[in-house]
Structure 1
Amino acid sequence: MKPTQIDGWVLADPKMARAILTGRQRQMRVPLAAPLAAIACEGAVIGLREACVPGRRRSDGVEMATDRKRAEFVAFADGWRRDRSGRQWRAESPRDAAEKWLAAMHMPGWATRAQLVIERRTMGRLRAIGAEELVAEGYRTLLPLAFWSRRRFAARWDVLHPQCGLRWADDPEVAVLRFGTCRL
């Protein structure tokens, strides 16, 4: 059975979306100050939003970029398309700089490819992340290389959370969300 009611949304860049869709990422950390931390309790369903290009077909069948309101489908960075009825197909990845990319926050709800069902929610400090948790966060890590994975995670965290009090060096409290993925 597929969950349908969305309790909240997570915005994913193409790398994170790919890690979630392939099952490589099964966990994420969220600052306690973020709205997602408040609604993400066990059993909550979180929709995955990704950057996409809204598209439609011309009368000759050729795909073209369009605005969000007239979109018949959306194209994702990995080349997959999803239409309003939920049908999916793969085509060439959008590469044209003039394509009308929508930021993840503007992706239409009907284009969601996956929902995350929260299985466990715990609290902790950001910098308490260990090698096993790095793997659950989608980072490939071998014990000799765990130091580098941790540094990559810290650098990425700081890009996504540059605010004072939320940076890696500030070691904020976070909600650690373990989830199962329901592909749609």
Structure 2
Amino acid sequence: MSKEVIVDKTLEFSFPDDWEYSVYEDCKIRKDIQKKINSVRCVDLLLLNKPENILYIIEVKDYDTATTEKMKELVSDLPRVLSEKFIDTMAGLTCAKMCGDTELKHFYRALLDPEVKKRFVSFVDLGQHCNDPRGNGRNLIANLHQRMKSVLKPVCCDKRMACDIKTLPAAYGWSVTRIKQ
């Protein structure tokens, strides 16, 4: 049996029942922080694989229906945006701990525990743009991975930071499917 969570109304994440999860952007304390500091960004999903001691901090982007102009914009801007979301999420979880928040307790404890592995995952599904003849799809994922690895190196040494439905490592233990609309 597994739990399912829908992100961005288009992608369904499935993971084992004994994992904890939070749709972070919906959390009360995160919303309270953003009311005071409106430039704060956040990731979409937090998954905690308790049996294997792994915290997944996941930002989801679905560009299946993006225009060609939007795709050009993404190639240059996305790594910065995603890195900011990961860093702001770590700060938000630290604030949640300092405020004694109980909703995110499992996640901020995992973030601060050196025994828990942290995996920052940019789940970027390019859909129809994946095989763009100009190579934007392939280049975007490669560039995204390299730039994020460089920015987040002090907090994460995971070898795979950017993936999509086709390249999601099976070892992660969770899966994603596109919801038919």
What's the TM-score, normalizing by structure 2?
0.29
* Higher percent of residues as strand: 1
Larger radius of gyration: 1
What's the TM-score, normalizing by structure 1?
0.29
Q: Say which structure, 1 or 2, has more relative contact order (CA 8 Å, 6+ apart).
A: 1
* Higher percent of residues as helix: 2
